[in-house]
Structure 1
């Protein structure tokens, strides 16, 4: 029954996509972040809904008479350069057949980001895109938070499928989501949703704790620390956080506390030692192939393991986005990846600063600031989790571009308007100030003595 409902919802909207491509973007948005079909049984669980929605959206975009060009933005340029580079490293990789699956996945992620940038170029479309993304991920966070409460913290919140395969990746997504959930407490689509989003924010934090991911816990701490540095309401935030932290420490079982405390003795932890082994493997691959690396999924290629794995060690996931990129795309790829991350960080801060100056675009400035905080969680979480191909990172970059375009268009409309004849465009800036005219004869003589 659940599968039939999900399939009906998706098929019901598909006919509209050819005429309204933004409907396809929102449906694509929902499927990518929530994976509703993966939470069903039967045919719906394995049906390629996303491929159908993507094809119809691109078809609708081609048929549409709207502007179809990518925005001129530094983020767009660096993503395109990075994609060209990973295409090159895939062709020259150790075993291109091993790389194709991951390369195809990245292609789909970036395709969605680019199409979204082209289509979602109005205030309402931007709001809808972000709301669907946050609501989809918040559903997973609320489930995880409730599970943590119901199990007393003894049960582990596992992955949700899609980009959130395991508990570590789920924790990263929730740490990135937290600032946006707080943003919707300030800017709810409907006033009635203000407190539900406040509750969702608490549930998202509990879900991060419930994953028992040490990397996720560090990412959460980084996001909250940066939020304290940047917010004007430091004391209010501290007043809310202290009871949550104290209550959480009292509530969580000893098994969770022991796992979190194990970060203090990380060098003696077998899990950490396994990560160090894979980091050495990544460095060995890059040192021998500094320009192009070994291609996607080089960690699972037997020939690469024989050449670069330390003797007596077992290969596993890289457990670091940075070492993941280093091994797969060389030092050149790592430089481009870091440039993409830093460009997104700087662009989000710039948009936040520029848009907060005007009342009409303040909401865009605050949205960009929330995205910037989400990038902090991604950057810190990437130290210990392999999330270099994480959907959410590239979608956040797309939102930054949308914020810049939409904000500039709003300010442009505020600057110019049609004249009384309805045809001529004239400046609509503030009127020049002139001193008030004196009302009495004495005042007029004092103002004009000559």
Structure 2
């Protein structure tokens, strides 16, 4: 996965530098204030594990554009595939005059997604769009209307996906009313489970099943939607067995299980999809983010009989499955296979966990370490034995990392989770240097 970007951190100016500050002033004058900026450095080149900004600073990337540039921000196969496709044509609209690249992506998804049943796919532009269409498919197939989502869930910013999303600020506040027939159930969150933590899987499943039975009625539920590892909610990994029990319950009641693998998919967790860790085969799976090496593409893939239940013309969109994005996706998936990025994610996990555990021994504000593959997180609290969320420290650590050339992200319902999503093309040396900066941030702030 060669890149022309030099793979080293370098700070030529303070962060942000003068050119980035000038661009930020232009942004404030021209872009809606509703579009936030977590780290106002303006990137002009990127590759491997490095982002180069307009001031010549070279930053270590622990965010991957929120799990998008899994293969790197300028992966050679993706670059070449995009160049070839742009020279051929940029758009025709698949619903008007189709093209092979769309079909090839759907064929590849049928091979890679969990289960050996016959599958069909439809392509879209964003994760939220994929989720919204998965719900449409489920409602048509089942003839039911209710959808069950979970505490701490994040599924998007459209009206329906905001209804599915649990967190108010900044995603839902002031934007209602939201779509109806959406219900919320308790999530199996081991670190914050209020019952017997050793029995979180059993107790959380019983709470979920009891609540749905009482408040919704199984016969009214079209689908249960779940992130196998919750993303924005705090990289919450449910305990072993919980997801399998939910899947079995869905089958027993004729309810479709939608796996939202938008952040977890495409080698991010050390398997092609996070469901693979649990041996769970969903009825429908939504994908986006890492699918196309940074280009906008999303998909709904599901059982053939489910996907084919929708009438002709019921799914689609002008740009859905754009040929350039499809070419990029095929090249990205080839890169994942040829370069064994599943194995690389597992290696990153091993390196990270060792260092994070050492940090937890030194700093009692690290309440929990969790995640899989290159999707890892630490939850920050007030101290050992005190699980009160500590968003103030989380923000301070994030600020320190940014100032020292490390691109980091936070998340969590309570704003107290540090999440790590490095590109799988990053070197061990850059990972170690980034973790050194994180440790220095703790020394300076904890």
TM-score (norm 2): 0.31
Relative to its length, the structure with more strand (as a share) is: 2
Higher relative contact order (CA 8 A, sep 6+): 2
Task: From the CA coordinates, give the structure whose radius of gyration is larger.
Answer: 1
